[in-house]
Structure 1
Amino acid sequence: MRSEDWQLTEDLDDFLGRVGGFLRAQPVSNIMQLTVAQRLREGRGGGAGAAVFGWLERGGEVVGSFYRLPGRGVGLGPLTPEQADSLAVRLKALGHDLPYVSADQRTAVAFAEAWQRHAGAVSTLRVRLHLYRLGTLTPPQPFPAGRARSVGEEDLGALMDMCRGFAADVGEDVTIDAGSWAGTRFADKSYTFWETPDGAPVSMAGVNPAVAGMAQVDPVYTPAHHRGHGYAAAVSAQVSRAARDAGAQEVVLFTDAANPTSNALYQRIGYEHVTDWAAYDFT
């Protein structure tokens, strides 16, 4: 396989014109590419500079694709080791200096090994995730005391507090305040609080805008002093049901593979494991 077989463009419409059908045919496997493309199309998440997109064809059919946002790493769809190797050769030849790769576990490992061979970079696993899709929703029984409530503009202060807590828990280096909120990845979601009978919000769940008939639950967070009461399961079940009722054909979410509590929680309410996901940093 020749590295030149990879076609690159900075034109999002060109990329989606060539690859959109391929991505939508397997939306769960290509969730990150579909989500990033939608955010860029809406003018969000690009940063300074031009994003780069690419695809690989065989016999006139797309068989692999990737994206790279300015100043960030490379996000890959599922690739074979041979395809990952040819992409690494192509990107290195074009002068790309990649800080990380993010993809399904097998693809991420294959690309990290290829990047080490061709760029001399040492790869370090940053995080491993599980990707789940909703099967048969099984709400917790009984629900904890309280109720689910949609988050409104008047709740922005409490919502930002919870998003800051979530970001700190997962190691995201982001500033979240009234001035920066609109530019964060948290701003484009719809949110639901679980609140106690006295009206205090104790847990929250967000849902990304639907893309290719798929809704992604993200983030889910309960402050540490409210954990252990079933609030996260309750609010997750509520937003999952709402996404289905709104017409989502697939409802998905990512979990930290190192957190057995959250993985068990989502499986209890009906989520099924699809694949592992990983990010490797390069030095």
Structure 2
Amino acid sequence: MLKLNSFNDIQTYKNEVIPFLEQDEIINNLALGLLLGVKNEQPMVMATVTKENKMVMALFQTHPKQIILSKAVEFTVDEIQQLAVLLDENLADIPGFIGEKDLTNQLAKAITNLRKRVPHIQMNQRLYSLNEIEKKPAENGKLKRMGFVNLPLVKEWVYQFCIDINEPMSREDAEAKAKDLIERGRVYGWEIDGEIVSMANASRPTKSNITVNFVFTPLSERKKGYASSCVSALTHLMLNSGYKTTSLYTDLDNPTSNKIYMEIGYKPLIDSIVIHFK
């Protein structure tokens, strides 16, 4: 029998959940990295699922449109239905999920039947990890850390990146995100002859892993290998900084980016899906 345990105190939740998430640090990098970064904010959902008093899943929400599902044990069809009923009874709002593809699809279908909602696949993703670079960056450019002098460029590229992944934000929010990325000190550009032509960011550090995201190249500079060089150089920098692995998510509907990352040395781990309820 499954049991849903809800938490109101972030520190208590961290103490309970972080050791569980760290058992699969890379696969759980989204929930783990966000949870480690939470300070005074109050997440919208903090919960665990237990089976015979043993934790088998963690649920965590900071994004208004989706609840993160951690790696879980293999649930039976009946247990997925039990979990759906528990969520339906205990959560006022279930806007969507992000998690391993098969489990997330099955849980979303069960929730749809209970709440008469319409599921919408926002993105089919694949999670990759790397511990050794196979393709080095081109020698005609260099990696440059972006500072506040680059804020107008980072703001515009964050704005365009979010449009590209079908998660548009206002220019005001894009500026706030750009400032945050710059303040954290891990957003870099690939520089050719003094001009920044591509961007990538390193985010959500955990004990031994860090995630590469916000990879963006403007249309005028695409198909020149700049994104590949930028990601390769940033990955190399993170590995040299002490991280044993780097990870990233890709959109499976973009075969070009998947090919680029695999050439660098990224290996597929799991398929993930983002589902929103209408």
Query: Normalising to structure 1: TM-score of the pair?
Result: 0.88
Q: Deviations over 1:79-138 (max 9, x none)?
A: 425444323211211252322111110121121111022222221211101100014202
CA deviations over 1:43-79 (Å, ceiling 9, x no partner): 46x5xxx522111223443211111337443211134
Closer/same/farther in 2, CA of residues 126 and 35 from structure 1, 3 Å limit? same
Q: Provide the secondary structure at the position in 2 that maps to 1:228.
A: coil
Please state how far the C-alpha of 1:236 moved relative to its aligned partner. 0.4
- Matched residue of 2:38: which SS? helix
Q: 1:256 to 1:154 in 2, by over 3 A?
A: same
Aligned counterparts of 1:59 and 1:103: Cα–Cα separation in 2: 23
- In structure 2, the partner of 1:227 is 222
Out of 271, 278, 281, the residue aligned to residue 273 of structure 2 is: 278
1:120-199 to 2 correspondence within 5 Å? 120-140=116-136, 143=138, 145-177=140-172, 180-181=175-176, 186=181, 188=184, 190-197=186-193, 199=194
Q: Which residue of 2 aligns with 1:64?
A: 57
Q: Secondary structure at the match of 1:258?
A: coil
Q: Taking structure 1 as reference, are residues 105 and 184 closer, same or farther at Cα in structure 2, changes over 3 Å only? A: farther
Whether contact under 8 Å (2:27, 2:127) holds in the other structure is: no
Write the distance in 1 (CA, Å) between the matches of 2:196 and 2:231: 14
Q: In 2, Cα distance between the equivalents of 1:93 and 1:153? A: 47
With over 3 angstroms needed to count, the CA separation of the structure-2 counterparts of 1:148 and 1:69, relative to structure 1, is closer
Which residue of 2 is the match for residue 35 of structure 1?
Answer: 33
> Are 1:51 and 2:44 counterparts?
yes
Question: Between the two proteins, what is the percent identity of the paired residues?
Answer: 21
Distance 1:70 1:227, change over 3 A: closer
Matched-pair contact (CA < 8 Å) for 2:228–2:261: yes
1:170-214, Cα deviation, whole Å (9 max, x unpaired): 1222124499515987564611111112x1110011001412321
> Corresponding residue for 2:66?
73
Over 3 Å counting, the alpha-carbon distance change for 1:175 and 1:239 in structure 2 is same
Q: Does the aligned pair in 2 maintain the 1:76–1:101 contact within 8 Å? A: yes
CA distance in 1, matches of 2:71, 2:11: 21
- For 2:63 and 2:126, locate their aligned partners in 1 and report how far apart those are by CA, in whole Å: 26
Give TM-score, length-normalised by structure 2: 0.90
Q: Offset of 1:268 from its aligned partner?
A: 0.3
Residue of structure 2 in register with 1:259 after alignment = 254
Structure 1, unaligned stretches of length 5 or more?
none
What is the alpha-carbon root mean square deviation over aligned residues? 2.3
Q: Distance in 2 between matches of 1:149 and 1:249?
A: 22
Q: Aligned partner of 2:15: which letter?
A: G
1:208, 1:216 within 8 Å by CA — same for their partners in 2?
yes
> In the alignment, does 2:10 pair up with 1:8?
no
1:255 Cα deviation after fit: 0.6
SS of 1:29's partner is coil
| 1:34 partner SS | helix
* Residue 101 of structure 1: aligned partner: 97
Over 3 Å counting, the alpha-carbon distance change for 1:279 and 1:246 in structure 2 is: same
Q: Secondary structure at the match of 1:121?
A: coil
What letter is aligned with 1:77? S
3-state SS in 2 of match to 1:56: strand
**Residues 1:245 and 2:224 aligned together:** no
Give the 3 Å change call, closer, same or farther, for CA 56–205 of structure 1 in structure 2: same
CA gap 1:186/1:84 in 2 versus in 1, 3 angstroms: farther
Q: Which runs of 4+ in 1 moved over 6 A?
A: none
Please, which runs of 5 or more residues in structure 2 have no aligned partner?
A: none
SS in 2 for 1:207: strand
